[in-house]
Structure 1
Amino acid sequence: MSPTGTETSLDTAAGQPMLDQTLDWAAINSGTGNLAGLGAVASKLADAFSALPGDLTLLEADPVESILPDGATKTTERGRNLHLTVRPEAPVQVLLTGHMDTVFGADHSFQSIRTLDDGRINGPGVADMKGGVAIILAALTGLEASPLRDRIGYEVVINSDEETGSHGSAALIARAAQGKAAALTYEPAATPEGLLAGARPGSGNFSIVITGRSAHAGRNPEDGRNAVLAAADLALRLSKAKGPRLSVNPAKIDGGGPNNVVPDHAVLRVNMRPATSGDQARAQSHLDAAIAMVAAEHGVHIHCHGGFNRPPKPLDPTAERLFQLVRDCGARLGQAIAWAPGGGVCDGNNIAACGVPVVDTMGVRGGAIHSGEEFLIVESLAERARLSTLVLLELAERGRP
């Protein structure tokens, strides 16, 4: 394509009303559990993305199970997920993903948006990731202004539960990833300077239900089986597995009661983050062995709920080529692009596990996400929209990273 044609697409993308969209979407609370707020945002997103060609739907999420403090299983509803399919018959297919939910619930104190003295925008979800969703729409609008558009098809998934692990949308993302040459996910950049997250660890969340036997703490404690003590023992055993390639965080123990009763119930919450698939297998083996030993030594019954819902995301050669393509496109635009391993996890982990190369920090430059200090650097909206558009155009011409 001629340089003039490329510039037209880039200018089209950069000229989209991304800031206004970000502010509009971020003004609505869309914490993962706020179904009303998520519904309102999903409707706005559907209206905005309907400007693109293709088949757009709002899909119901899969039901999600969680363990309550008393050990009972609860089924939780999640918000609907936006799904757009454009030109599925095109020779090159890509996936773009983002999320509409935030970590700030309807009753959280962080609800307002303000402009800081230096021009940055402070507000819930402006960086993570209402701004990123606006960039997706702008980049695809720029792509649609190019004669190369017929060479490339795409699916877009904007899910409603990424912040809690994408349990209700994981199957949708896995289906959308099938057959894709590459994927772009719009988490904010890893640093305000624009660093991309390269390799990521995996993540597993576990709710471990321990059932013991109650007894009087003074008259016959030997007849009891202390579930809280077993939970504490299990937490300590699991923490011994941590090291440079595996983080283990026993986060909470629910259970217990009056001081004069041996507690017969506890729930241990644990997060484990392995660096590689091999580390994940070793972590699972350690978890299984520790549970078996604690159950036997304390005479309790233990049920483990949960698993590794975010597989490790190594930087393999195919992924490296996609990162290099993004870097080269950035250089053409005067943007210095670099990457480094990241400690967090996101939907990019799940996409990579499907065998699709993914760059998952294509969103805005900003920072302090998941806090009341979250901010968006406004000029990064146009910068990143240009970058994504150019990457998509290059994929259309090359066919693969």
Structure 2
Amino acid sequence: MTSLSTIEAATLERAAEAPMLAQVERWAAVNSGTGNLAGLQTVAVLLADAFAVLPGDIRLVAPDPVESVDAAGRVQTIERGAHLHLRVRPAAPVQLLLTGHMDTVFAADHPFQSLRWIEDGVLNGPGTADMKGGLAVILAALTALEASPLAPRVGYDVLINSDEETGSHASAALIAELAQGKTAALTYEPALPDGTLAGARPGSGNFSITIHGRSAHAGRNPEEGRNALVAAADLALRLNALKSLELKVNPAKIDGGGPNNIVPDQAILRVNMRPATPAAMVAAEATLRGTLANIERDHDVHCHLHGGFNRPPKPMGPAAARLFALVRDCGSALGLDIAWKATGGVCDGNNIAACGVPVVDTMGPRGGAIHSSDEFLIADSLPERARLSALTLSRLAERGTV
């Protein structure tokens, strides 16, 4: 176990004393589903007020436009909420990026809206673990760091985006911009209930394929039609057959069809693909386009592809391994056994890693059952993880590198 210096011990004590639970309860009481713009605005203001205790410049950044294909095949622009950005000491020798998200998966009309204690120390509520608890940990760790004599050595950008749960399409460019030149990054998705962190992650891409066929009477002249629904079903089966150790494929939904006596002339297939490696991502996109060409040939239809790989794969490279080792050693100094494992999920850590910046992306509190009405936060892990972050930040400041 690594011993703590006097400066580190004082910093950790300040981090653990932060009012994180009260902040989580206040922030999680406001619905901030990705599509709830009013709720996101309310939470953004609450967060801006809270993070204003830190030095530097804080601003709300307008989201980039996001396009989506609706059930009728029309490309629509979706409005997203503003992102919160704080910049502190951009000229300091060590530059870090800390990220989190204010949105949840629970829409304004979702029945899961309230908080309750399901047992002693376990708080059930929307976004408690994913990830308003993580936002409280960020603030606690940075506030403690600012009181340390190490603070002048480190500068940082904090980004809290509004659309992580739907793929960060409206914030991807901002993430890439802020990642440039950073020594390391920490993202505050929740750790597993036992404290395990996520290591390597696959990439993820969401695609909408609109298939244009030709309508005809189902009884009088069906041979003159080109059934887009059948072509979409065939495409779903062909893509599903691409599953392998290197690629997960999930055909998720088909929009289309109509009256039983009309050959459907349009259908839209929604599919998610998760490649394990960058090479698998390149191969998957090429295979997808080749499969569309075959569907067009075999069914005499036209396919239009919308979407792409918005989360590149995040392998565990040497720099990332060193950063994980630093977090592990900091955990050891605190009496925590920090382990990590590969996971099938994706997050903004994927985007940061694609910029060449080492990142640990599950620095948030321990919790579980996220994306469900059983989501829970282990309250005692708030000070635990705030201390872990504060020590990690302190040692990055002191070392100047991972």
**Is TM > 0.5 for Structure 1 vs Structure 2?**
yes
Displacement after TM superposition at 1:183 (Å) = 0.2
Counterpart residue number, 1:382: 383
Aligned partner of 2:242 in structure 1 is: 241
| Separation in structure 2 between the aligned mates of residue 142 and residue 99 of structure 1, nearest angstrom | 21
**What residue is the counterpart of 1:61 in the other structure?**
63
Question: 1:277: Cα distance to partner?
Answer: 0.4
In structure 1, give the amino acid aligned to 2:162: S
Indicate the SS of the match to 2:185: strand
Q: Which residue number in structure 2 is paired with residue 285 of structure 1? A: 286
Aligned to 1:88: 90
Q: Which residue does the alignment assign to 1:125? A: 127
Structure 1 position 162, deviation (Å): 0.1
The amino acid across from 2:210 in the alignment is V
Work out the CA distance in 2 between the residues paired with 1:120 and 1:147: 35
Q: Is 1:365–1:377's contact at 8 Å kept on the other side of the alignment?
A: yes
Distance 1:72 1:300 in 2: 18
Q: CA deviation at 1:106?
A: 0.3
Does the 8 A contact of 1:351 with 1:358 survive in 2?
A: yes
> How far off is 1:117 after superposition?
2.3
Distance 2:178 2:138 in 1: 16
Structure 1 residue 336 and structure 2 residue 337: aligned?
yes
The alignment's C-alpha RMSD in Å is 0.9
Corresponding position of 2:29? 27
Aligned to 1:394: 395
- How far did 1:118 drift? 2.7
Structure 2 spans left out of the alignment, 5+ residues: none
Following superposition, the deviation at residue 7 of structure 1 comes to 1.2
Aligned pairs for 1:127-206 (under 5 A) are 127-189=129-191, 191-206=192-207
Relative distance call for 1:2 and 1:236 in structure 2 (3 A) is: closer
What letter corresponds to residue 298 of structure 1 in structure 2?
A: H
For 1:150 and 1:44, how far apart are their aligned partners in 2?
A: 27
Superposed CA offset, 1:380-399 (max 9, x none): 00000000000001001111
Return the letter of the residue paired with 1:206: F
Query: In structure 1, what is the Cα distance between the partners aligned to 2:6 and 2:398?
Result: 16
What displacement does 1:227 show? 0.4
Partner of 1:6: 8
Letter in 1 for 2:88: V
Aligned length: 400
The 1-side partners of 2:79 and 2:119 are apart by 40
Please name the residue that 2:255 is paired with. 254
CA distance in 2, matches of 1:325, 1:4: 19
Q: Tell me how far apart the structure 1 counterparts of residues 215 and 7 of structure 2 sit (CA, whole Å).
A: 75
SS at match of 2:157: strand
Per-residue deviation at 1:296?
Answer: 1.2
Q: Identity of aligned pairs, percent?
A: 69
Q: TM-score when scaled to structure 2?
A: 0.99
Question: In structure 2, what residue type is equivalent to 1:222?
Answer: E
1:39 equivalent in alignment to 2:46: no
**Does the Cα contact within 8 Å between 1:93 and 1:179 map onto a contact in 2?**
yes
Give how far 1:14 is off.
0.8
For structure 1, the 5+ residue unaligned runs are none
Deviations 1:10-59 (A, max 9, x none): 11111110000000000000000000000000000000001000010011
Task: Please report how far the alpha carbon of residue 109 of structure 1 lies from its aligned counterpart in structure 2 after TM superposition.
Answer: 0.5
Distance 1:237 1:4 in 2: 62
1:99 to 98, 101, 106: 101
Contact residue 8 and residue 145 of structure 1 kept, 8 A: no
Mapped partners of 1:15, 1:117: distance in 2:
23
For residues 385 and 2 of structure 1, do their structure 2 counterparts lie closer, same or farther at Cα, with a shift above 3 Å needed? closer
1:86-107 deviation line (CA, Å, top 9, x unaligned): 0000000000000000000000
Aligned residue in 2 for 1:112: 114
Could you tell me how far apart the structure 2 residues matched to 1:169 and 1:322 are? 25
* Other structure's SS at 1:116 match: strand
Secondary structure of 2:119 counterpart: coil
Q: Distance in 2 between matches of 1:351 and 1:234?
A: 33
Report the 3-state secondary structure (helix = DSSP H, G, I; strand = E; otherwise coil) of the residue aligned with 1:51.
coil
**2:202 aligns to what SS in structure 1?**
coil
- 1:147 counterpart SS class: coil
- 1:117, 1:273 → 2: CA distance? 36
Q: In the alignment, is residue 313 of structure 1 matched against residue 314 of structure 2?
A: yes
Q: Per-residue deviation at 1:2?
A: 8.0
Counterpart contact for 1:215–1:262, Cα < 8 Å: yes
- Write the letter of the residue equivalent to 1:313: K
User: Shift of the alpha carbon at 1:327?
Assistant: 0.0
* Runs of at least 4 residues off by over 6 Å: none
Give the aligned residue type for 2:365. V
Mapped partners of 1:393, 1:118: distance in 2: 32
